Amino acid sequence: MIGFSPPLYRLRVGDYRVSYRVTLQLVVILSVFHKKDSDRWLKRQG
């Protein structure tokens, strides 16, 4: 996703979405949510 530092990534897993960040040594899972809630999640993230 654009505008986040470090970059924020999203992954689709069936009906679920996973947002995560990748650093030099880690993959950090930020949230897991159902796709019906993705609009609400995006509004909260700015």
Neighbours of 42 (CB within 10 A): 13
- Residue 30 half-sphere exposure, CB side, CA atoms within 13 Å? 17
The pLDDT assigned to 23 comes to: 85
The pLDDT assigned to 3 comes to: 64
Predicted model pTM? 0.67
**Which residue(s) pair with 13 in the sheet?**
16
- Residue 36 half-sphere exposure, CB side, CA atoms within 13 Å? 0
The span from the CA of 27 to the CA of 15, in Å, is 21
Q: Assess whether pLDDT exceeds 60 at residue 11.
A: yes
Q: Assess whether pLDDT exceeds 80 at residue 21.
A: yes
